[in-house]
Chains A and B, each alone.
Chain A
Amino acid sequence: MTSQMTPPPTLGCRQSPVLKQRGQREVFCGLTGIIWLHRKIQDAFFLVVGSRTCAHLLQSAAGVMIFAEPRFGTAILEESDLAGLNDAHAELDRTVSELLARRPDIRQLFLVGSCPSEVIKLDLNRAAERLTQEFAPKVRVLEYSGSGIETTFTQGEDACLASMVPVLPDTQVRELMVVGALPDVVEDQMLGLLADLGIGPVRVLPARNIDGELGVGSNTVFALTQPFLGDTHAALERRGARHLPAPFPFGEEGTTAWLAAIAKAFGVSQDLFDKVTEAPRRRARQAIAQAAAPLNAKSIFFFPDSQLEIPLARFLTRECGMTPIEVGSPYIHDALHGPDLDLLPAGPQISEGQDVDLQLDRCRAARPDLTVCGLGLANPLEAEGLSTKWAIELVFTPVHFYEQAGDLASLFARPLRRKDILGVAAE
């Protein structure tokens, strides 16, 4: 299944030493995931139990993108809630009842823990059980933590999906479960490809609504579409499901390898595989070739942000001709990131976690052609003459699978093209 594939490097990054520094981390907390999850799961409401800071984070990270009807809100803790936990529970019940009365369309409610709710030890698990009993069968209430003391940015989605795994019904059917929130259009493309390969039934976690026929059991095999789903991976394995390790479906190579791992598990013939993938592979290669020209032979530096860094570095190195200098990721899970690390040629500094000031020193010294970083760092680095790509765009934009491979390359190419057009001398 590796026809026309670039061979893997003789030495990948899987064994490379990992730089781990401790200092200030400049990353969002897991609450941020609500911004895309609440659009994806259409009958769910996300109720953060937190502070004004949490509400402000959601608003600032969302910007005006979705300043319409949000299916999320923050129950802001007040002085009186801090005084006694019993009262806080009573207040939470009141808030939830009001909310559900006003939003009869809501079938799933996620209570999302925050730093303040965790520090005062407000037991949301207990609250979720109590509220489920009260509102069943109409509404299912689950809880997870999106707090900044427990989770980093995309780990919020991981925690959310992991919270759903224990309540999935049992099934003994041999099914493929694809795990990770994708934009609907991308999800449909993926389902189309899998259907053409004759693989089915295919279930998706998270399902668009609660009535989906999603179950799990020892005959379930699952593939992850996002590299930040470590806890969900563990939760599914606890339910007996088997993981299909593969590089993540970014770019032509990643998508092909990802599909190939599934095809192999489902006994798809090489002929059929080639027939189904040939045209989209050709399109993807062509689109990348067109979009990636400005990236060729350019260097890139990743600040840790979304855990997408390693698969993206693999894509940019092997399909766009870039040279990574440092690839930082908030967390590295060998079971998830290993296949991508194998394909990423040894050379770049791999780093996990961060001390942002020290990392900025390294970045300035290296003067990469392109720096992938968070919104807080982008303009300051641009002002120092570095080109940047905001990492958050990568989780808000459709970038997975063949038909988006060209778009993915152009996301990175655009800052460089722009600099060219504006005639800013590359320093």
Chain B
Amino acid sequence: MKLTVWTYEGPPHVGAMRVATGMTGLHYVLHAPQGDTYADLLFTMIERRDHRPPVTYTTFQARDLGSDTAGLFKSSCQDAYDRFKPEAIIVGASCTAELIQDDPGGLAETMGLDIPVIPLELPSYQRKENFGADETFFQIVRHLAKPMEKTKRVTCNLLGPTALGFRHRDDIQEITNLLYELGVEVNVTAPMTATPSDIAKMGQAHFNVLLYPETGEQAARYCERTFDQPYTKVVPIGTGATHDFIAEIRELTGSTAKLDTDRLRQTWWSRSVDSTYLTGKRVFIFGDGTHVKAAARIARDEMGFDVAGMGCYNREMARDIRAAAKDYGLEALITDDYLEVERAIEALQPEMILGTQMERHIGKRLGIPCAVISAPVHVQDFPARYSPQMGFEGANVIFDTWIHPLVMGLEEHLLHMFREDFEFHDAAGPSHHGGHAPKPMGPAAGEGGSMPAETAPPAPVNDNVIWLADAEKELKKIPFFVRGKARRNTETFAAEKGLNEISLDTLYEAKAHYAR
């Protein structure tokens, strides 16, 4: 039993729904109680989809349990077949149905439907949403894709995008265009945009582009084994990774097509003097493994940030992220416990968080700016405008998104100079965010904070250090966006020197010590 407040991932059948909803012509018959229908709103509200997800829930009740839940499953399955006329059906159980052991796969098989029926085994009490998507996509490919003659021209499949994915819609477009410029056509993009008959044709591509390992890796491996299709290992998020991806494609295809990189503005935007203020900003990075790995590289090599901490919530990627973290001289935080992430951020006092919607809320509470880089998503992660994360346009989008929550260069100086101006004080927050004053640092307000009893005081590095009044006062004059860092550095400095009091002098000695 594990006490959970907020979760990074839903149950595995929600992953299966992401696959089914991304596709067309596929229907999912899910043995589940009525309350599980809440999952529809993820797609219709958060992603603003204009159709219901293609899911039929059996919605069995307590009174059905003693009698005939299996019969109910069969009639739901038949109704779904008659009404929606899908090309193929996937069937499975949610956590509750798993316990009553009706075996949806076996039941559906006895019905003799004249379309492919794909059974899913998703262990709800062990695995989570990403696994559910990955496994479902794999089963669909395994059942439907047939060996085929390769296309005459060089083609590939794009693997991994699903409904409710973080910017999948736009990544598909960006990478399809990039590949086109390299002379490679996309054969099938799946699961998102594909029909079951498209899946059947996957085998005719020459290779696969694995966009999202979280949701497409099993299928990519299967295709490698079965259809002799190698798959790409670089995820093209960030300028450097996009160049590596292009090199990988050239290697796989022999393409020598020239690329026009005029659209890539991120490199100049980063080098231009206005961006100097980004140098060495301490960032904490958390999300799914793929996005975290990409974000860390961008943060250090393309933005000039200092990666102060990183980790991921999906254990499937733990090994990768641990190895990546080593490169940055860090120990990765692998956890799906929101409170643990909150504590890590609180202790590190980064100047910025690159995280998920969950970290955005942690940031709000702690007064630390945050940009969202990964699922779990919320409605604002589905913008109306084109905003991929991948490819050259993705690099531009990421640059803009990450600097948006920060106080801009000149403004930062002005805040230092006029910090006692009544309108221009630090608590007002960045001037381009009307009405979003970050909360001051310090003990979380009882009701407003999450889990206050546990995390109330901002953990000092060393509990034995006392801030003397004049030093404390001086600390308050430091603008909010560097105050956390100043406090932390000073406390570390004091601890190293074996001091148990921090005076004004200690503060400035620490400042000199850490000067860069």
Contacts and interface: CB of A to CB of B under 8 A. Distances in A.
Task: Verify that A and B bind, or say they do not.
Answer: yes
Contacts of B49: 379-380
Contact of B42 (A60, A64, A382): A60
Contact of A148 (B35, B45, B447, B453): B35
A75 B37 CA distance: 21
Contact of B45 (A94, A149, A375, A383): A375
B65 interface: yes
B70 to A, nearest CB: 15
Interface stretch (B2-10, B103-111, B204-212, B236-244): B2-10
Contact of A25 (B59, B126, B446, B452): B59
A25 B10 CA distance: 21
Given A64-B361, A116-B99, A26 B1 contact: no
B61 A149 contact: yes
Interface string A377-389: 1111011000000
Nearest to B53: A376
A249 B9 CA distance: 41
Interface stretch (A76-84, A179-187, A271-279, A412-420): A76-84
B10 A56 contact: yes
A75 B2 CA distance: 5
Interface stretch (A47-55, A131-139, A262-270, A307-315): A47-55
Nearest to A118: B62
A207 interface: no
A27 interface: yes
Interface string B211-255: 000000000000000000000000000000000000000000000
Contact of A64 (B36, B62, B365, B378): B378
Contacts of B173: none
Nearest to A39: B447
B6 A27 contact: no
B155 interface: no
A68 B4 CA distance: 14
B276 interface: no
Contact of B35 (A88, A147, A379): A147
Contacts of A23: 59, 79
Interface in B55-100: 56-62, 65, 76, 79, 83, 94-96, 99-100
| Size bracket, chain B contacts | 35 or more
A72 B4 CA distance: 9
Contact of B7 (A52, A147, A378): A52
B482 to A, nearest CB: 26
Contacts of A28: 34-35, 37-38
Given A60-B41, A81-B1, A149-B62, A51 B95 contact: yes
B39 interface: yes
Nearest to B125: A79
Interface stretch (A102-110, A293-301, A395-403): A102-110
Contact of A383 (B9, B50, B94, B123): B50
Contacts of A82: 99, 125
B95 A52 contact: yes
Contacts of B2: 75-76, 78
B448 interface: yes
Given A53-B124, A82-B125, A70 B5 contact: yes
A101 B448 CA distance: 20
A115 B35 CA distance: 9
B85 to A, nearest CB: 13
Contacts of A56: 7, 10-11, 14, 38-39
A380 B449 CA distance: 36
Interface string B296-336: 00000000000000000000000000000000000000000
Nearest to B35: A29
B44 interface: yes
A91 B44 contact: no
A59 B10 CA distance: 10
B52 interface: yes
B125 A78 contact: yes
A31 B35 contact: yes
B62 A150 contact: yes
Contact of A92 (B1, B45, B79, B83): B1
Nearest to A91: B1
Nearest to A63: B378
A211 interface: no
B405 interface: no
A426 interface: no
Contacts of A116: 95-96, 99
Contact of B1 (A67, A76, A115): A76
Contacts of B94: 53
Given A67-B361, A376-B52, A379-B50, A73 B1 contact: no
A53 B3 contact: no
Given A104-B453, A380-B44, A147 B33 contact: yes
B76 A119 contact: no
16 contacts: A24-B57, A59-B7, A64-B357, A73-B4, A76-B4, A77-B1, A78-B1, A105-B453, A115-B95, A116-B95, A116-B96, A148-B36, A149-B33, A149-B34, A149-B62, A150-B61
Interface of A: 23-32, 47, 49, 51-53, 55-57, 59-61, 63-64, 67-70, 72-79, 81-82, 88, 91-92, 94-95, 98-99, 102-105, 115-116, 118-120, 147-150, 152, 357, 374-380, 382-383
Interface of B: 1-7, 9-11, 13-14, 33-42, 44-45, 48-52, 56-62, 65, 76, 79, 83, 94-96, 99-100, 123-126, 128, 357, 361, 365, 378, 446-454
Given A24-B76, A119-B100, 6 more contacts: A53-B14, A69-B452, A76-B4, A78-B2, A119-B99, A149-B61
